[in-house]
Amino acid sequence: MIIGCLAGYLGSLIFGGKKRSLLLYLIIGIVGGFIGGFLFTQLGIGGEDLLWQLISATVGAIVLLFIISLIRGK
């Protein structure tokens, strides 16, 4: 959960910097973890340690926020 919150926070900072609630950071980070894990697996990169999990979840969170911004039209 800590990695999810941190990844959601970092992804939000990198993508747009908009303040969100802790729960929303957690949701963004968890969904981002699934997206990042899928992408990194398809690319054949990554690892099992916490740093790779954080990087993967953060990249996934950025992709998620990008998709949401496309849907919203912003």
| Rounded-to-integer distance, Cα 58 and Cα 32, Å | 6
Nearest alpha carbon to residue 61 among 34, 23, 22, 43? 34
Could you tell me if residue 60 is inside a domain? yes
pLDDT at residue 1 is higher than 70: yes
**How many domains is the chain built from?**
1
| Rounded-to-integer distance, Cα 31 and Cα 64, Å | 8
Which three-class secondary structure string do you get for 18-50?
CCCCHHHHHHHHHHHHHHHHHHHHHHCCCCCCH
pTM: 0.88
Could you tell me if residue 43 is inside a domain? yes
Residue range 3-26, pLDDT digits in tens: 889 999 999 899 876 788 888 889
- Give residue 39's domain range: 2-65
Amino acid at 11: G
Q: Residue 31: what pLDDT?
A: 95
